[in-house]
Structure 1
Amino acid sequence: MLSIPLIDIGGESGIGYLTSLLYMSDELHPNAAGNLRHGTFGAEELRRLSRRGFFGA
């Protein structure tokens, strides 16, 4: 709606309610695997936005 890019980690990274046993230590805080997935997903999304020119030339 505002034409700004968002990184939807909760919706697109695969970390959520159905995968909480894999990626969460207590259904709220990520464990080591969750932190790795979160960081990897976020970094790749930032790279994708960079390739599309959102951070300048």
Structure 2
Amino acid sequence: MDQFFNAEREVAKLLSIPLIDVGGESGIGYLTSLLYMGDELHPNAAGSLRHGTFDAEELRGLSRRGFFGA
């Protein structure tokens, strides 16, 4: 997973596009897997709620910065 998350960050940086960095900033990861993961890859109910809440706030931030237009 770390390689995947790093690749996402590298591509976003190369393309100069924003990245919703779930793997690095949402609090969902290896250290919290018992709380948020059902099987080391897929989120459980609590993880899905955290993921969705994180994504929604990140999208709101992009919108406030005008990323989606006026």
Same-fold call, TM > 0.5?
Answer: yes
* Residue segments in structure 2 that go unaligned for 5+ positions in a row: 1-12
Aligned residues: 57
RMSD over aligned Cα, in angstroms?
A: 0.9
Q: Distance in 2 between matches of 1:3 and 1:27?
A: 30
- Per-residue deviation, 1:17: 0.4
* Residue segments in structure 1 that go unaligned for 5+ positions in a row: none
State the TM-score, normalizing by the size of structure 1. 0.93
36-45 or 1-10, which moves further after superposition?
1-10
Structure with larger RCO (C-alpha < 8 A, sep 6+): 1
Q: Distance in 2 between matches of 1:3 and 1:10?
A: 19
Structure 1 consecutive aligned stretches of length 4 or more whose deviation exceeds 6 Å: none
- Per-residue deviation, 1:46: 0.2
**Which residue is 1:41 aligned to?**
54
